[in-house]
Structure 1
């Protein structure tokens, strides 16, 4: 499957560091950096069209999200996960998303359900175009919407922290055609459970969904990553 990413992502010079963080987050999530690789500030400044000050402020924001790690004296790096780290984190994420789905099935509003339905149609369209970056953005919004619809602030904040660590790996898990097809079908089943207000099924589907992503990601790590 061929995926074309833009080589230059412009950022207006009058934007705040949050806007720079959005662009850098896209690069990180879309797999432009290998695990454990150093972020070259000069190259990123040129690519994003910004000075080092907003870039460094954006990097600090992404450190808080778990997308970047700082090594004193060496600089900023992408996280380097062990297979145990990946497995343990996805296992926890599956529990959190399963609980969110169960609660959301009972608490989701009509407007949120309509939005989730629209996202499913847009994901289908992105899949048919083989537009993986757009698909992932829509996919992430769908999962985020479920965490909101659960109406449990503690669950949502915990989910955001854990999910932030797995952003880039979740994106890569769909780069296999068969797995991407399966993931889209699973989302359709989750949507059906939401419409039926079937919390038990929603929980089961989401837990299975995350286990499959875990297994797909682990296959990308035949050896332990090192830096």
Structure 2
């Protein structure tokens, strides 16, 4: 079969539970860098690794493509999506504005059950931070943000947020890779939970906007450090042949 994006129209529907499991495992591999950005998804290796046929694997790839984790490229097949630095810089302030508004609405509209759920998730977030489990932290973090969006009760806001959030998924994960930023992030989440319990719309909205913009700052710092490291290695390599 030729490797084109349209090849991913699956003839047979894979079992939802199996496809969902594959999506989760492949998403983790992408976030952790096991599947590298810009590289083809190694279908044969993954079928052997997971012990599945190509049908459920390709169904999972379709889902990941819809979520923005994978791109279906004509004549190349499935490729792990690359981050667009300019787009990330443009989208984070928009996401921050949307989440800030969601926070303001959630503080006014959340019922006690919703507030209790956010409190419990924030406690779980602290535990995952203390155990240094980044994947569990990231998943719990996403659940907190999703819960606050849900508590806003604004369907249009949630829909627009989803369109943007999935385009910067990896950047959000990588933003907490430094120990300093990770510690800052957990403190910000605890401040968000406290503002929600106080039903403080201004405080929650402000904290959520700052939280997102601090993520962007961390991403930019990481980019700069990576560039400097690359330049230093290039200079050292050139020096060896001088």
TM-score by length of 2: 0.82
**Cα separation, 2, equivalents of 1:17 and 1:120:** 29
> Which residue of the partner structure matches residue 216 of structure 1?
218
Return the offset for 1:66.
1.2
Structure 1 contact 29–169 (Cα < 8 Å) conserved: no
Matched, 1:172 2:174: yes
Where relative contact order (Cα < 8 A, 6+ residues apart) is larger, the structure is 1
Q: Compare 19-28 and 181-190 and name the one that shifted more.
A: 19-28
**Cα separation, 1, equivalents of 2:95 and 2:45:** 34
SS of 1:70's partner is: strand
Task: Report the CA distance shift for 1:65/1:192 in structure 2 as closer, same or farther (over 3 A).
Answer: same
Q: After the TM superposition, which parts of structure 1 deviate over 6 Å for at least 4 consecutive aligned residues?
A: none
**Cα separation, 2, equivalents of 1:138 and 1:151:** 21
Query: Which of 134, 155, 162 in structure 1 is aligned with 2:164?
Result: 162
Matches within 5 A, 1:143-158: 143-158=145-160
Task: Report the CA distance shift for 1:31/1:161 in structure 2 as closer, same or farther (over 3 A).
Answer: farther
Q: CA RMSD in A?
A: 1.7
Residue ranges of structure 2 left out of the alignment (5+ in a row): 1-13, 228-242
- Between structure 1 and structure 2, the one with the greater Rg is 2
**Cα separation, 1, equivalents of 2:204 and 2:20:** 34
> Which residue of the partner structure matches residue 5 of structure 1?
none
Return the offset for 1:16.
3.8
Structure 2 contact 40–79 (Cα < 8 Å) conserved: yes
Matches within 5 A, 1:70-81: 70-81=72-83
> Which residue of the partner structure matches residue 53 of structure 1?
55
Query: Which structure carries more helix by proportion?
Result: 2
Task: Report the CA distance shift for 1:183/1:122 in structure 2 as closer, same or farther (over 3 A).
Answer: same
**Cα separation, 2, equivalents of 1:49 and 1:169:** 30
**Cα separation, 2, equivalents of 1:208 and 1:180:** 14
